[in-house]
A and B are shown apart, each in its own frame.
Chain A
Amino acid sequence: MTSGKFFGKWIREAGRGHIAAALSWGLLMIYLAVTLTRLSLDPQYTFFGVGSSELLWISEGLGLALAFVEFFYLLQQRKQDFYYSLPVRKGTVFWSRYVHGILHYMIPLVIVMTVCGVYQSTVDQVFFSEAAGYTGKSILMYGAVFLIFYHAGLLSVAVSGSVVTAVLVCAGILLYGGTLSGNVLTVFSENFFRTYYRIPLLEEMATVLDPMALAGRLTGWELYDQREILAFVPDVSYIAAAVLWILLSLCLLIYAQKKRKTERTGRAFALPAGERAAEILLAFLAGVWLGSYLTDLTGLTDSPSGVPAGAALSAAAGVCSAAVVHLVLEGTAGGCRKQAILRRKWQMSAVCAAVLLTILAFPAGASSFDRYFPEDETEQIGISIDGLGMDYEQYRDAVYETGSYTTDQQMKEYILADEGKRAVLAWLSSVVNDDSANVNDAVTNDAVANDATVNDDDTGQQENGSGDGSYTIATVCYRLQDGSEKYRRYQVSREQFQAFSSVYDTVEYKEKAYPAITVGTMADARYTWEDGVTETDLKLTEDEKEALALAYREDVEAMSMEDLTKALPEGFVCVDSETGAGSARMPVYPFHEQTCGLLREYGVDIEKTIKDYEIRSVEMYEHYGSVGPNISGGVSRIICDTPEEIEKWSGRLFPERLDLQPLLYPLDHSGNISDIRAEVEDPRTNSVTRVDCCLLPE
Chain B
Amino acid sequence: MIKIRGLVKKFETACALDRISLDVQDGIMFGLLGTNGAGKSTLLRILAGILEPDEGEIFIDGEGNPADPSCKENIFYLPDDPYYFPNASMDEMVRFYSRFYPGMDGKGAAAMAESLHLDMNIPLRTFSKGMKRQAFLIFALCAGTKYLLCDEVFDGLDPVVTEVMKNLFRQEMKERNFTVVVASHKLNDLEDLCGNIAILHRGGVVTAGDLKTRGENIRKFQFVVPVGRDLGGLDSCSSVIRWQREGNFVRLTAHGSDKEIRALLERYEPKFLEEVPLSLEEIFIEEMEEEGYDIRKVLR
Contact = CB atoms under 8 A, between A and B. Distances in A.
Given A9-B99, A262-B50, A87 B70 contact: yes
B11 A87 contact: no
Given A9-B100, A13-B99, A79-B83, A85 B69 contact: no
Interface in B80-108: 81-83, 85, 96, 99-101
The CB with the most chain B CB atoms within 10 A, among A12, A85, A262, is that of A85
Contact of A85 (B11, B49, B85): B49
A90 B70 contact: no
A16 B69 contact: no
A192 to B, nearest CB: 44
A3 B77 CA distance: 21
B51 A87 contact: no
Given A6-B69, A81-B77, A262-B50, A87 B85 contact: no
Contacts of A88: 69, 72, 100
Contact of A78 (B67, B68, B79, B96): B79
Contacts of A89: 67-69
A403 to B, nearest CB: 50
Interface residues of A, number: 21
Contacts of B85: 16
B93 to A, nearest CB: 11
A262 B51 contact: yes
Interface string A56-87: 00000000000000000000001111101111
Interface string B42-55: 10010011111000
B101 to A, nearest CB: 7
A2 interface: yes
B73 interface: yes
Contacts of B11: 263
Contacts, number: 57
Contacts of B73: 87
Given A12-B99, A78-B81, A85 B67 contact: no
Nearest to B101: A87
Nearest to A334: B12
B49 A84 contact: yes
A337 to B, nearest CB: 10
A81 B69 contact: no
Nearest to B85: A16
Interface range for B: 20 to 34
A89 B66 CA distance: 11
Contact of A87 (B52, B69, B79): B69
A262 B75 CA distance: 19
B133 to A, nearest CB: 15
A85 B99 contact: no
A85 to B, nearest CB: 4
Contact of B79 (A2, A16, A81, A86): A81
A2 B65 CA distance: 15
A12 B97 CA distance: 12
A90 B67 contact: yes
Contact of B50 (A16, A85, A87): A85
Interface in A1-29: 2-3, 6, 9, 12-13, 16
Interface string A104-123: 00000000000000000000
A607 B227 CA distance: 145
Contacts of B75: 85
A560 B52 CA distance: 84
A263 B51 contact: yes
A85 B51 contact: no
B77 A85 contact: yes
* Best-buried of B42, B51, B79, B99 by chain A (most CB within 10 Å): B99
A80 B50 CA distance: 8
A78 B69 contact: no
Nearest to B88: A16
Contacts of A6: 69
A87 B49 CA distance: 9
A263 B50 CA distance: 9
A9 B48 CA distance: 19
A82 B82 contact: yes
B160 to A, nearest CB: 26
A684 to B, nearest CB: 80
23 contacts: A2-B70, A13-B99, A78-B79, A78-B82, A78-B83, A80-B50, A81-B79, A81-B83, A82-B82, A82-B83, A84-B50, A85-B48, A85-B75, A85-B77, A85-B79, A86-B72, A86-B100, A87-B70, A87-B100, A88-B100, A89-B67, A90-B67, A262-B51
Given A81-B48, A85-B79, A87-B101, 16 more contacts: A2-B69, A2-B70, A3-B69, A81-B45, A81-B79, A82-B82, A82-B83, A85-B49, A85-B72, A86-B72, A88-B100, A89-B67, A89-B68, A90-B67, A262-B50, A263-B51
Interface of A: 2-3, 6, 9, 12-13, 16, 78-82, 84-90, 262-263
Which 8 pairs between the two chains have the least Cβ-Cβ distance? A82-B83, A85-B77, A87-B72, A87-B73, A87-B69, A84-B50, A6-B69, A85-B48
